[in-house]
Structure 1
């Protein structure tokens, strides 16, 4: 959309690099698990193309309804298929039930590591690091970044909201969006929408995550890609980082832009005009 500046990651700035890193460092046989809505379905479509390109294999692909807490069946399939790596696009509190079930079945982060795409520092704080230590997540920002800019950002956040609070990638992406807007308004001396939109094209900003820049072709940001290992204190040890910001590619090469949009529209129609499976969940039981 010409009316949106996308401050989050494109697939080539989060999902695809994580799959490649996992293939090189953790194993070649993957199990895909996600919540049944648009992001996990789209991410896993992209992931499967990447795994095939690398020469890896998909041991299984399973989805749970948003809000579901019953993961016994899915974890049983993981146990049976014995993948090298779990790629996790489960959203929200369902992650608590998923990781607890993994541990209940004896699947540890050492035995089968999980890379998550929706678990950051704040989720770990709420879920409990004891269930997640040794697993991984892929983001552009981690609170543990050692730059002076980030240290000031974290310090100011804790000063305002409490020393027990943490910051994470989605928070930082929202924060830098406000500053990009302010920089654009200041540069043109008006908050006129057309003028601000024009000023934003190609704009750069030194964010807590590092240098970002708006790509005028698609209005996504160039970003550094990072992969972190979850520590027992709920923070991340950064195990991989791109040398420089990566140019965004919102429509991965495996399909044309039209084919990706058709894929999304098919999901939307299949879910009766929703962006998630509209089936309701009550105490882990579909109804």
Structure 2
């Protein structure tokens, strides 16, 4: 196909409004930062690196329509974005039909492979498994699941139930609330938690509903040194929104936290806050939205084109020094090798990393290695002050 002469243009699929816009606006910001940095460094394939993309309103139908518009009208070279699994699933058919690409920056439930889709967020063996290990080793055996009513919570809860069962723990109750949960929906969940006695909460609520739930849990007075809310979804943005008092003691597992001490991350955090605001919180989904654009650009430079087959061939050979550590795409699964970490929110509402992988973890979206004895080595960074 030779060298591409016209500028590279990508499509950004992120929501400025709707239930998940709190995360997606930050993902878009991180993507813009990556594009700006590439342009400051001379652009891509000899030209300015361009982008398009309108508000997708946290709505799968809007995501699909915008993906089709970007591919067919704006002639983008690849798509970047989506947060909820329902939105990713809506976008994949037009991606497939048009032999385009989607780079998906959000942790998800696994059990998927789509040609032309690169999964940059954590697969279940890179977050849920680590959470099950840490919680059963350090907290307890009785769990209460609460989730938003869409694809991801049902799927990850089914996996988490198996993981906990394999570790001798029980799920005593499981409840789902609408994506835009009402006050009474959340009050009902709190009442059910109280009925079950001391439990550890595994939450897969997202967006504003997650923030409302964490606040209500704090107000209800549960002891988070024994009964924390643990999650693979609610991170630094949500903790900032609920405030430090309601955040303290809650736990998240993710490949990235803004407190990671390395030069690449400190530069990323500093550049992001200089560009978007000194008090802006960052999260794993932002970091993936950022590094996946660097991965795409590096692959395009190596092959001199944005043609899908050429990019898919070279991507597994490309490593990018991301804020979380060195990352690359696994050729077998199209998922990314990542660095799982467990963190607990402190009295200032900031996450402190208490356990981290000593090497990048190979993704296993089909969970073949879910409970392999040959586990990845990890480092415990602090004694739990309990």
TM category (shorter chain) comes to 0.7 to 0.9
Check the 8 A contact 1:32/1:44 in 2, yes or no.
Answer: yes
Moved over 6 A (4+): none
Q: CA deviation at 1:206?
A: 1.2
Find out whether 1:112 has 2:243 as its counterpart. no
Q: Decide which of 207, 212, 216 is 1:97's aligned counterpart.
A: 212
Q: Matched residue of 1:93: which SS?
A: helix
Check the 8 A contact 2:145/2:173 in 1, yes or no.
Answer: yes
Q: CA deviation at 1:118?
A: 1.5
Map residues 126-165 of structure 1 onto 2, 5 A cutoff.
126-165=241-280
Q: Matched residue of 2:271: which SS?
A: helix
Q: Decide which of 220, 224, 229 is 2:344's aligned counterpart.
A: 229
TM-aligned CA distance change 1:254 to 1:224, over 3 Å: closer
Check the 8 A contact 1:135/1:229 in 2, yes or no.
Answer: yes
In 1, the alpha carbon distance for the partners of 2:315 and 2:219 equals 49
Find out whether 1:51 has 2:164 as its counterpart. yes
Q: CA deviation at 1:135?
A: 0.9
Q: CA deviation at 1:254?
A: 9.7
Greater shift in the superposed pair: 92-101 or 151-160: 92-101
Find out whether 1:86 has 2:201 as its counterpart. yes
Check the 8 A contact 1:31/1:83 in 2, yes or no.
Answer: no
In 2, the alpha carbon distance for the partners of 1:198 and 1:161 equals 35
In 2, the alpha carbon distance for the partners of 1:57 and 1:237 equals 27
Q: CA deviation at 1:9?
A: 0.3
- Alpha-carbon RMSD across the aligned residues, in angstroms, is 1.6
Check the 8 A contact 1:229/1:238 in 2, yes or no.
Answer: yes
Q: CA deviation at 1:79?
A: 1.4
In 1, the alpha carbon distance for the partners of 2:306 and 2:369 equals 39
TM-aligned CA distance change 1:202 to 1:53, over 3 Å: farther
TM-aligned CA distance change 1:62 to 1:253, over 3 Å: farther
Q: Where do 5+ consecutive residues of structure 2 fail to align?
A: 1-113, 371-386
Q: Deviations over 1:113-145 (max 9, x none)?
A: 111222111222223222111111111000000
Q: CA deviation at 1:2?
A: 1.4
TM-aligned CA distance change 1:254 to 1:204, over 3 Å: closer
In 1, the alpha carbon distance for the partners of 2:200 and 2:359 equals 27
* Alignment TM-score, normalising by the size of structure 2: 0.64
In 1, the alpha carbon distance for the partners of 2:369 and 2:173 equals 21
Q: Deviations over 1:143-190 (max 9, x none)?
A: 000111111111111111121112211010010100000100111112
In 2, the alpha carbon distance for the partners of 1:157 and 1:104 equals 33
Find out whether 1:72 has 2:218 as its counterpart. no
Q: CA deviation at 1:97?
A: 2.1
Aligned length: 255
Which residue of structure 1 aligns with residue 324 of structure 2? Answer: 209
* Alignment TM-score, normalising by the size of structure 1: 0.85
Greater shift in the superposed pair: 193-202 or 136-145: 193-202
Check the 8 A contact 2:131/2:253 in 1, yes or no.
Answer: yes
Q: CA deviation at 1:100?
A: 2.5
Q: CA deviation at 1:35?
A: 0.7
Which residue of structure 2 aligns with residue 251 of structure 1? Answer: 366
